[in-house]
Amino acid sequence: MLVLAHAVVIQVITFGMRPTLSYAVLDLGGSPALLGVVVAAFAVPALLLALPAGHVIDRIGERASLLAGACALVVAALIATFGGGSVAALLLATTFLGMGHLLSVIGEQAMVANTTNRGQYDSKFGYFTFASSLGQTIGPLLLALPGGTVETPPVGLIFIVSGALSVVLLGISFFVRSSQRPVIEQRARMLPAAAALLRTPGLVRALLAGSIVLASVDLFLAYLPALGHERGIAAVVVSAMLVVRSMFSMFSRLFLGPMVKVLGRRRLMVWTIGVSAVGLAAFALPLPVAALLVLAAVYGFAIGTCQPITMSWIAELATPGTRGLAMSLRLASNRLGQTVLPSLLGVLAAAAGAAGVFVATGLMLFGGAWAGAAVGEAQPGEVDDELARD
């Protein structure tokens, strides 16, 4: 239960602060293209830390990662609150937010993977990501706090609330106990273990699909405020769209286990990524607000299935004692996508605006659907054999 509570709070902080940071950058005169840099600032340090963090978790447990992540979030909130008058300070706050989010999420995912029996991963990761989606639903509601203008939320107040929640997260982390470490005579080194996982058939394409999906969520978070600015949509309506997206992702994850049993992982992943591509690209059309809310619901439900599917599949493939590394490998690939793709599309935003970014992201998701076709059923022992050869 503590891990689920931790998952809710970390996502409330992240999904409250990230769109607020976008608004803060825009208020300081930043261009839509700069929002791509903001998204990348969230991902770059985490990309560098992911594999070492997962490797350390496999050795000393998840609790240390959760504590370090909460501390980074406290620092992020302090920088955003007291240095918000500078774009450089906002980028630094985004960097610490990315580090804190990564360390927290790796610890959570490793905890779930290490305390779940084979055959139950789809359901358990479905519940875990349900908790995450609950936090992602609550987080954007911070944009509706009183004190802002019609088109801009109360930036300073949101940063203060996020700082208080980061302190709460630190308290929860103190009470979490690491899972029991397996007794292993000789642990594989980090790079050979990661290489063994990458040689698993279809894994690279599955990681590619996951990274594209997560990058699309990041771009949705970053550029929906920009779309609202361009079309004169009130901040409270933008908040509602973000909440709807999260709610429907949460709903899809609650029933992930049964959906996988009925449709299978591969079919479910390919079709839902394709639907999400259509829904996201349609945001570029000059539609009324009600239609945009419907599209947010469609996109949210479809996009909500891919992440837990890749989590459960990779967890089944990994051997005891390497699951932290396996989850960090997945997160590293996600962060790579979050770094490269938003930066490229940020350049497009300067020419085509936020609507162009939504169209390009939809096309990108069709590539993710092709990559997701590689996902299959886990075969226990595949990674064991690879590690034995290293």
Cβ neighbours of 146 (radius 10 Å): 7
Instruction: Please state, in angstroms and rounded to a whole number, the distance separating the CA atoms of residues 137 and 239.
Output: 10
Res 228: pLDDT: 87
Question: Alpha-carbon distance 104 to 63, whole Å?
Answer: 9
- Residue 236: the pLDDT is 84
Q: Which of 14-18, 76-80, 336-340 has the lowest mean pLDDT?
A: 336-340
293: pLDDT strictly greater than 70: yes
**Confidence category of residue 350, pLDDT binned at 50, 70, 90:** low
CA nearest neighbour of 332 among 11, 46, 39: 46
Averaged over 246-272, what is the pLDDT?
83
Please name the residue ranges forming H helices in the chain. Answer: 2-27, 32-60, 63-82, 87-114, 121-138, 155-175, 190-198, 203-231, 235-254, 256-263, 265-281, 289-303, 306-317, 323-372, 382-389
385 has pLDDT over 50? no
Average pLDDT over residues 337-349: 71
Residue 274's Cβ-side half-sphere holds a number of Cα atoms within 13 Å equal to 10
* Interval 14-36 mean pLDDT: 84
Percentage of the residues of the chain whose pLDDT score is greater than 90: 22
Place of tokens 């990761």: 125
Higher pLDDT, 346 or 254: 254
Residue 185: band (very low, low, confident or very high) from pLDDT cuts 50, 70, 90: very low
Determine contact, residues 237/266, Cβ cutoff 8 Å.
no
Q: How many CA atoms lie within 13 A of 388 on its CB side?
A: 6
Whether the CB-CB separation of 308 and 125 falls below 8 Å is answered with yes
Contact 95, 195 (CB under 8 A): no
pLDDT at 231: 86
* pLDDT at position 14: 93
352-375: average pLDDT = 82
Letter for the amino acid at 39?
A: V
What pLDDT is recorded for position 297? 94
CA atoms within 13 A on the CB side of 389: 9
- The arrangement of secondary structure in 2-177+190-389, i.e. its CATH architecture, is Up-down Bundle (1.20)
Where is average pLDDT lowest: 170-174, 325-329, 364-368? 325-329
In whole angstroms, give the CA distance from residue 342 to residue 36: 5
> Which residue's entry shows tokens 């931790």?
6
Cα distance between residue 238 and residue 244, in whole Å: 10
pLDDT reading at 216 higher than 60: yes
Classify residue 189 by its DSSP letter: P
Helices (H), 176-285: 190-198, 203-231, 235-254, 256-263, 265-281
Task: Look at 160 and 211; give whichever has higher pLDDT.
Answer: 160
The whole-number average pLDDT for the span 31-51 is 77
Burial class from Cβ neighbours inside 10 Å (0-12, 13-18, 19+) for residue 299 reads buried
pLDDT of residue 374: 67
In this prediction, residue 299 carries a pLDDT of: 93
Q: Nearest CA to 331 among 250, 249, 214, 216?
A: 214
Residue 169 has pLDDT above 90, yes or no: yes
178 band by pLDDT with thresholds 50, 70 and 90? confident
In terms of average pLDDT, the best of 44-53, 315-324, 338-347, 363-372 is 363-372
Residue 319: the pLDDT is 67
Residue with tokens 């405020």: 225
Q: Hey, how many other C-beta atoms are within 10 angstroms of the C-beta on 272?
A: 23
Q: Is the pLDDT of residue 386 over 50?
A: no
Question: Can you tell me the mean pLDDT for 320-335?
Answer: 75
Q: What was the pLDDT predicted at 388? A: 35
Residue 304, pLDDT above cutoff 80: yes
Mean pLDDT of 107-132: 79
Average pLDDT taken over every residue of the chain? 81
